[in-house]
Amino acid sequence: MGLDVTTLRGNLNLKLGNFELNSGAFELPLEGVTVLFGRSGSGKSTLLRAISGLDKHTEGELYFGDVCWQNGKTALATQKRHIGFVFQDAALFPHMSVRQNLMYSVKRLPKSVEPADFDEIVTRVGIADKLDRGVNFLSGGEKQRVAIARALLTRPDILCMDEPLSALDWRSKAEMLTLIEDIVAAYQVPVLYITHAPAEVERLANQIVFMKDGAIERIETLQESLSRVDSPLFDDEGAVSVLQGTPQAIEQGLRPIQMGQNTLWLSDLNELKKDTVRVRVLAKDVSLALSDPEQLSIINHLPAEILKIVPEDNHRVLVRLQLQDGQKLFAEITEHSAQRLQLEVGTKLFALIKSVVLAE
């Protein structure tokens, strides 16, 4: 990440039974976490297999920076692409200990690749005290940690994760999300991440590859995709905004999150180790007032300006707002309220936020 972002570009085709992957030409700067998102059967796993060279029927072309990975039917072998894999079921050797599983892949590294720092990785991933345990005696979350450590030990240029959290309970999911953020920051390894869960996308994604019927439909940043009123990331809870801010020390039993000159107050007091956090706000939890409602019990009220007003079904309207620091927020209000407040593009007002949670 940072200065030298490698771009993955190509156009891949792969036929599997009745299914055809025809990605279309794409150019993907590998920075942070790239989520592959789409309905079941849209071809996310197939695209990941084609990118990784795991299917020898892949055709088309693919370049990792200047290095050619696929040219027609000629493909660079998967092990020469320096990719780390983490799948839904950790895929460990069941009769080996954690350490043996890890060493198995370290020993098979090409001589040209220097193994990563074993102790540092197992400590960061949280398995240093489990190295001599048989993997059958690990929980689902622990197995996934081993799979992540195994992948990191090979110093991958890309980490591919195919629904890595889908078999875990909510608590393990939350811990793993924190771990994934941590390893992306610590090792600067770009991640290709498949998930169905919008909450995981909101928490992790820098950019999103939307897949549909075996093709890449579009590639967008998280904020671009959340700015569309028909974003595929919105489920039955409706439109969602993700705001970014800097956590401050707890004050009066609340956690202030600084966003430019304004502050959001969270009731979540868990320790936050990061400089920047993402918070999630449902549009239906945001209402609007023309004057600063200081007397209200709602603590979060931010000055905002209307960018767009979009009529929805059920006599409701979606109002796109810009906050003072430039971040965008959706409010969903009734048509009646919109008329009563005489809202129009450019109106300056206050967004009252009933509920804010950390994205996870």
Ligand X SMILES: Nc1ncnc2c1ncn2[C@@H]1O[C@H](COP(=O)(O)OP(=O)(O)OP(=O)(O)O)[C@@H](O)[C@H]1O
Residues in contact with ligand X by CB under 6 A are 16-17, 19, 38, 40-46
Which CB sits closer to ligand X, 46 or 58? 46
For the chain, the C-alpha Rg in angstroms (whole number) is 23
210 versus 350: smaller Cβ distance to ligand X: 210
Measure the CA dihedral 224/228/234/237, to 10°.
120
Residue 204: CB minimum distance to ligand X, A: 17
Closer Cβ to ligand X, 53 or 245, answer by number: 53
> Looking at beta carbons only, is 23 or 241 nearer to ligand X?
23
Return the residue matching tokens 């990975």. 69
Q: How far is the CB of 165 from ligand X (least distance, A)?
A: 14
Instruction: Output the six-digit token pair for 290.
Output: 């023309």
Q: What is the dihedral of CA 122, 123, 129, 134, to 10 degrees?
A: -20
* Cα–Cα distance measured from residue 184 to residue 87, given in angstroms and rounded to the nearest whole number: 17
- Of 218 and 308, nearer to ligand X (C-beta) is 218
The C-alpha atoms of residue 220 and residue 197 are separated, in whole angstroms, by 17
Closest CA to 353 of 278, 294, 265: 265
Closer residue to ligand X (CB): 21 or 318: 21
Amino acid at 312: E
Nearest distance, CB of residue 54 and ligand X, angstroms:
11
Q: In the complex, what is the shortest distance from the CB of residue 16 to ligand X, in angstroms, rounded to a whole number?
A: 4
Least distance between ligand X and beta carbon 214 (Å): 7
> Hey, what are 237's tokens?
């809870």
Residue number, 50 or 125, with CB nearest to ligand X: 50
Give the nearer residue to ligand X in terms of CB position, either 211 or 257: 211
Contact yes or no for 61/72 (Cβ under 8 A): yes
Q: How far is CA 115 from the centre of its chain?
A: 27
Residue among 50, 57, 112 at smallest CA distance from 80: 112
Between residues 33 and 36, which has the closer beta carbon with respect to ligand X?
36
Question: Which residue's CB atom is positioned nearest to ligand X?
Answer: 17
Q: At how many degrees (to 10) do helices 140-153 and 118-125 cross?
A: 150
Report the residue number, 34 or 45, with the smaller CB distance to ligand X: 45
Q: How far is the CB of 83 from ligand X (least distance, A)?
A: 17
Question: Minimum distance between the CB of residue 190 and ligand X, rounded to whole angstroms?
Answer: 20
> How many angstroms separate the CA atoms of 133 and 125, rounded?
16
Cα separation, 330 vs 344, whole angstroms: 15
Looking up tokens 């430019």, which residue turns up? Answer: 260
φ, ψ at 170 (rounded to 5°): -65, -35
List helix spans (H) across the chain. Answer: 44-52, 98-107, 118-125, 140-153, 170-187, 198-204, 222-226, 335-340
Distance in Å, CB of 45 to ligand X, minimum: 3
Question: Least distance to ligand X from the beta carbon of 38, Å?
Answer: 6
> For residue 338, what are the CA distances in angstroms to 63, 315, 344, 351, 355?
50, 10, 9, 13, 21
Min CB(51)–ligand X separation in Å: 12
